[in-house]
């Protein structure tokens, strides 16, 4: 099959490379000449494990190409995927569909024959209907159809998620579109990956419902962590005890400083706006959003308490800045709220992240950046683990203790054994665990 992918951001580039790896011929299209030149030169615009090698292999085999020319990119395509950004609209939380609709208009004018237009971007319910309307107004070729095919990719594990998915969701009422997408995904359901065919609106809502449910699990276990601290229980053991129940499941039951990233914050808000417009109250998701916002804002108070109740004049080391490991994504990262609170309290902050510095520096102009985890500890009154990068798990705690001026280690991801930390000469405070 011949596939065109409009957008070379996280979803578009990963999806395009994986489709090419299935044997399809894929052209990725982007308006940004600098980004296309970067990718052609072998440098990825995002940090995702294995993506550079996957792109290179398929470029070398002639299955994957990149262009800024829309007409060239869609020439001969059986399906055109829309994978452009849908950020939260400033002021009201709605998904901003400007880039989606702009891409559809340009596509409609450039098409010379019918294709399946597939929405890969995360879009509110009813977006596919509007895309169909725009295609009709712009006189797209007769036979052009619209489908929804939401992505369920985790940053840091996106290639595996694409190739070994829990499910593939396709929303369309057009039988030819179904057959085209069935053929595109045929390599996956030969491996028995389930494909769910449904209506466009159902597929669009499924994406938001999935992310909202996972965000709810995170906020739930974070509130349980607070209760554990109050009553002397261990949230990690609670999470294991409930996660072994197949009805609940263990994933997303890791207590921490709150969720961030490109999906959960904007998708929960967009779902609430959709529900508001439909006149349907969503009390659980509304509470989830508030719990998470409060959670991130409260993390600086934990550090303040650990250094004696006053941050003024204190030097705080921060380990990890990205919202999760194995990505350079800083969008809505818990580190941003934490560091803002530390600076407001009069502390100085030095931080290290294995890959996130380039994106973090413009967002955190008031802090210093270290070259490694040990340099962060030099002269620090407290060390805060914010992102659970693997390389932090094996650091020499005794060396860290010698370098620090104070002795407080605040582990917001529970990556350390508290007893080991204490034996190394540090005090320990985790999340939802006994002191």
Q: What's the pLDDT tens digit per position in 52-81?
A: 999 999 999 999 999 999 999 999 999 999
Classify burial at 1, counting beta carbons within 10 Å of its beta carbon; exposed 0-12, middle 13-18, buried 19 or more: middle
Confidence of residue 398 (pLDDT cuts 50, 70, 90): very high
Residue in 24, 4, 21 with CA at minimum distance from that of residue 12:
4
Distance between CA atoms of residues 46 and 38, nearest Å: 11
Confidence of residue 173 (pLDDT cuts 50, 70, 90): very high
Letter string b/e over residues 338-352, b meaning 16 or more CB atoms within 10 A of that residue's CB:
bbbbbbebebbbbbb
Based on the residue annotation, tell me whether 228 is a catalytic residue of this protein: no
Q: Is the pLDDT of residue 1 over 90?
A: yes
| Any domain includes 372 | yes
Candidates 18, 28, 228, 263; catalytic one:
263
**Does residue 183 sit in the same domain as residue 293?**
no
Residue in 205, 235, 201, 204 with CA at minimum distance from that of residue 220:
235
| Any domain includes 204 | no
| Any domain includes 146 | yes
Tokens of 280: 């349907």
**Does residue 178 sit in the same domain as residue 258?**
no
Tokens of 230: 């109050």
pTM of the full structure: 0.93
**Does residue 172 sit in the same domain as residue 245?**
no
Domain boundary among 146, 176, 198: 198
Residue 18, domain extent: 2-198
Residue in 349, 294, 343 with CA at minimum distance from that of residue 320:
349
Confidence of residue 434 (pLDDT cuts 50, 70, 90): confident
Tokens of 243: 């996660």
Cα angle 56-60-61, degrees, rounded to a multiple of 5: 120
**Does residue 43 sit in the same domain as residue 93?**
yes
Q: Is the pLDDT of residue 118 over 80?
A: yes
Confidence of residue 245 (pLDDT cuts 50, 70, 90): very high
pLDDT digits (tens, 9 = 90+) for 343-365: 999 999 999 999 999 999 999 99
Q: Is the pLDDT of residue 92 over 90?
A: no
| Any domain includes 113 | yes
3 state DSSP class of 271: helix
| Any domain includes 268 | yes
Number of domains observed in the structure of the chain: 2
**Does residue 321 sit in the same domain as residue 414?**
yes
**Does residue 156 sit in the same domain as residue 10?**
yes
**Does residue 351 sit in the same domain as residue 265?**
yes
Give residue 258's Cα distance to chain centre. 13
CATH code at position 177: 3.40.50.720
| Any domain includes 230 | no
pLDDT digits (tens, 9 = 90+) for 287-309: 999 999 999 999 999 999 999 99
């Amino acid at each position: 099959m011949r596939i065109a992918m409009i957008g070379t951001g996280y979803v578009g580039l990963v999806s395009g490379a994986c489709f090419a790896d299935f044997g399809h011929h894929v052209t990725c299209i982007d308006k940004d000449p600098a980004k296309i030149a970067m990718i052609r030169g072998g440098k990825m615009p995002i940090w995702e494990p294995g993506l550079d090698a996957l792109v290179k292999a398929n470029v070398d085999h002639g299955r994957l190409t990149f262009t800024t020319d829309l007409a060239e990119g869609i020439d001969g395509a059986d399906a055109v995927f829309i994978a452009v950004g849908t950020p939260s609209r400033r002021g009201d939380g709605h998904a901003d569909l400007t880039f989606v609709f702009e891409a559809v208009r340009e596509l409609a004018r450039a098409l010379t024959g019918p294709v399946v237009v597939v929405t890969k971007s995360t879009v509110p319910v009813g977006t596919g209907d509007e895309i169909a309307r725009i295609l009709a107004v712009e006189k797209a070729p007769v036979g052009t159809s619209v489908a929804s095919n939401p992505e369920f990719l985790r940053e840091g594990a996106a290639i595996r998620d694409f190739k070994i998915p829990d499910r593939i969701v396709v929303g369309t009422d057009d039988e030819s579109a179904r057959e085209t997408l069935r053929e595109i995904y045929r390599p996956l359901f030969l491996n028995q990956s389930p494909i769910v065919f449904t209506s466009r609106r159902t597929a669009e809502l499924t994406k938001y419902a999935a992310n909202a449910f996972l965000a709810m699990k995170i906020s739930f276990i974070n509130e349980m962590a607070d209760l554990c601290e109050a009553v002397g229980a261990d949230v990690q053991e609670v999470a294991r005890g409930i996660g072994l129940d197949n009805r609940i499941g263990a994933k997303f039951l890791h207590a921490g400083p709150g969720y961030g990233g490109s999906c959960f914050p904007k998708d929960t808000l967009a779902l609430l706006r959709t529900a508001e417009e439909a006149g349907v109250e969503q009390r659980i998701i509304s509470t989830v959003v508030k719990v998470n916002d409060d959670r991130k804002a409260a993390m600086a108070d934990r550090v303040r308490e650990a250094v004696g109740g006053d941050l003024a004049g204190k030097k705080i080391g921060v380990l990890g800045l990205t919202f999760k490991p194995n990505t350079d994504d800083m969008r809505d990262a818990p580190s941003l709220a934490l560091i803002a609170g530390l600076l407001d309290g009069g502390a100085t902050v030095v931080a290290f992240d294995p890959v996130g510095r380039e994106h973090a520096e413009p967002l955190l102009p008031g802090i210093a950046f270290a070259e490694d985890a040990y340099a962060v500890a030099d002269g620090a009154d407290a060390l805060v683990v914010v992102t659970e990068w693997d390389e932090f798990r094996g650091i020499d705690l005794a060396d860290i203790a010698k370098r620090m001026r104070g002795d407080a280690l605040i582990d917001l991801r529970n990556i350390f054994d508290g007893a080991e930390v204490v034996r190394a000469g540090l005090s320990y405070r985790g999340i939802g665990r006994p002191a």
